[in-house]
Amino acid sequence: MIISSDCHAGATQAEYRDYLEASYRARYDSAMSDPDVIERRSVEVIGMRIPSSDANGESAPLTAQWNVERRLAQLDTDGVAAEVIFPQPAGRAAPPFYNIFGHPLDPRDPDAAAAGCRAYNRWLADFCANSPDPARHAGLALVGVVDDIDTTVAEIEWAKRAGLRGVILRSQPLSGYGWHEPRYEPIWSVCEDLAMPIHTHGGEGPELGNLPGSSSIFFTEVVWFAHRLFWFLLWSGALERHPRLRLVLTEQFADWIPDMLRRLDAQYEGTVSNITLTEGLTMKPSEYWARQCSVGASFMSRLECERRHEIGIENILWGSDFPHDEGTWPNTSDSLHNTFDGVPENELRAMLGENALDVYGFDREALMPHVGRVGPLVESFTSVSRSAPGSPRG
């Protein structure tokens, strides 16, 4: 069973317009009057190639953003039984009033961005519910603006009722010091109570201008900013106070986790700098990670797989990043073999599907027919022995 913990979807411009509250439609029309501006920004400034349309506006991956039948067909060819859905970070299918630098929202207009979130969430809930196979989709609500805590909590409650399976937060809130502020406590409470995992997704970074090196610096740094929520929730005590709260760090690599856990434990145990700041935690930081956190390991590498025991077999959710160019689609089978060949069956099953099944509450019975129809055979991995470094190629 293969579940991708990282896929992206988005509506057409016309659909977003329908889902937007009426008072924001004129502003959206204005912002989208030159869609090439948004598209070019994502391609040239950032260097990220969002699936784009051909001359007829009908390229397969782009259409699969909003056409659920095409989407399911592409998941089938990729061997993927079920998916977790994040928004498009840029381009025409991104939520209204979003851009990649401000991912998930334009800080200059938080009210419009909040309306864009609501439109995206409502479109996504319908997209998943109206699918021929709703059990194959776990949509996540985008909660970009949190200044009004009551409104934020109400949006998360609405998302739960609407069938969405988790919450995506900015790497840091737009205003204030950061996610360690006590005023965010009601958000952690409602997410714990409703079993809505909290996510960050790689993509936010500081404004670097359009200078030589800007794009490359952005790519070097961007994953780090998405990591931060982990230690903000850790050191502020939110993971201690909310032991059933779950955090998922998606598309931000997994190689860094063992070293970071080692450092955090050393900091907790006071072996760095003679400083003891345990912040009231009753366990080592690595124990909170093991209990409450997961990494959405998009296009997971062989190196990351080799570190799987230090990251935690139970804490890894493989992801394809469909339909992005940097993802594994449409070569997922090759990518899986490169990363996982030779891994024991129980570990393979956990990382590729079982862990995501638990975190997102997928319906196993409803998925099994698709697993049997499209999924790879476990024997295809475990029967292949991959040569170790330095040994003759086998």
What string marks each residue from 373 to 392 as x (binds its own copies by CB under 8 A) or -?
--------------------
Asked if residue 121 binds its own copies (CB under 8 A), the reply is no
Asked if residue 151 binds its own copies (CB under 8 A), the reply is no
Q: Pick from 18, 21, 69, 181 the residue near its own copies by CB under 8 A.
A: 181
Asked if residue 86 binds its own copies (CB under 8 A), the reply is no
- Please tell me what DSSP assigns to residue 202: S
Span interacting with its own copies, options 69-77, 88-96, 263-271, 334-342, rule CB under 8 A: 263-271
Distance (Å, rounded) from C-alpha 34 to C-alpha 370? 41
Asked if residue 186 binds its own copies (CB under 8 A), the reply is no
- Please tell me what DSSP assigns to residue 184: G
Q: Which residues of 302-313 are buried (b: 16+ CB within 10 A; e: fewer)?
A: eebbebbeebbb
Please give the C-alpha separations between residue 157 and each of 130, 194, 221, in angstroms, as whole numbers. Answer: 20, 8, 33
For 212, counting Cβ atoms within 10 Å of its Cβ (0-12 exposed, 13-18 middle, 19+ buried), the class is: exposed
Asked if residue 211 binds its own copies (CB under 8 A), the reply is yes
The smaller minimum CB distance to its own copies, of residues 158 and 219, is found at 219
Contact between 352 and 3 under an 8 Å Cβ cutoff? The reply is yes
CB of residue 76 vs its own copies: minimum separation in angstroms? 23
DSSP-H helix ranges across 6-67:
13-19, 25-31, 35-40, 60-63
Asked if residue 216 binds its own copies (CB under 8 A), the reply is yes
The smaller minimum CB distance to its own copies, of residues 220 and 387, is found at 220
CB of residue 221 vs its own copies: minimum separation in angstroms? 7
Asked if residue 237 binds its own copies (CB under 8 A), the reply is yes
Asked if residue 184 binds its own copies (CB under 8 A), the reply is no
Span interacting with its own copies, options 42-50, 75-83, 134-142, 348-356, rule CB under 8 A: 42-50
Residue 303 tokens, joined: 């190196």
List the 247-250 sheet strands across, edge first.
Answer: 141-143, 167-169, 198-201, 247-250, 293-298, 316-319
Span interacting with its own copies, options 81-89, 113-121, 218-226, 289-297, rule CB under 8 A: 218-226
Residue with tokens 């439109």: 119
Q: Pick from 35, 57, 186, 280 the residue near its own copies by CB under 8 A.
A: 280
The smaller minimum CB distance to its own copies, of residues 195 and 283, is found at 283
Distance (Å, rounded) from C-alpha 135 to C-alpha 367? 7
Q: Pick from 18, 69, 147, 221 the residue near its own copies by CB under 8 A.
A: 221
Q: Pick from 217, 366, 368, 378 the residue near its own copies by CB under 8 A.
A: 217
Nearest Cα neighbor of 134 from 197, 71, 87, 62 is 71
Span interacting with its own copies, options 24-32, 56-64, 211-219, 385-393, rule CB under 8 A: 211-219
CB of residue 280 vs its own copies: minimum separation in angstroms? 8
Q: Report how many residues bind its own copies under the rule CB under 8 A.
A: 47
Distance (Å, rounded) from C-alpha 292 to C-alpha 236? 15
Asked if residue 334 binds its own copies (CB under 8 A), the reply is no
Q: Pick from 22, 130, 177, 392 the residue near its own copies by CB under 8 A.
A: 177
Residue 349 tokens, joined: 């099953």
Q: Pick from 81, 187, 264, 300 the residue near its own copies by CB under 8 A.
A: 264
Asked if residue 178 binds its own copies (CB under 8 A), the reply is yes
CB of residue 212 vs its own copies: minimum separation in angstroms? 6
Q: Write out the E strands in the chain.
A: 3-9, 82-87, 137-139, 141-143, 167-169, 198-201, 247-250, 293-298, 316-319
Distance (Å, rounded) from C-alpha 268 to C-alpha 371? 43
Distance (Å, rounded) from C-alpha 153 to C-alpha 65? 28
- Contact set with its own copies (CB under 8 A): 47-49, 177-178, 180-182, 206-209, 211-217, 219-221, 224, 228, 231-232, 235-237, 253, 255-256, 259, 262-264, 267, 272-275, 277, 279-280, 303, 325-326
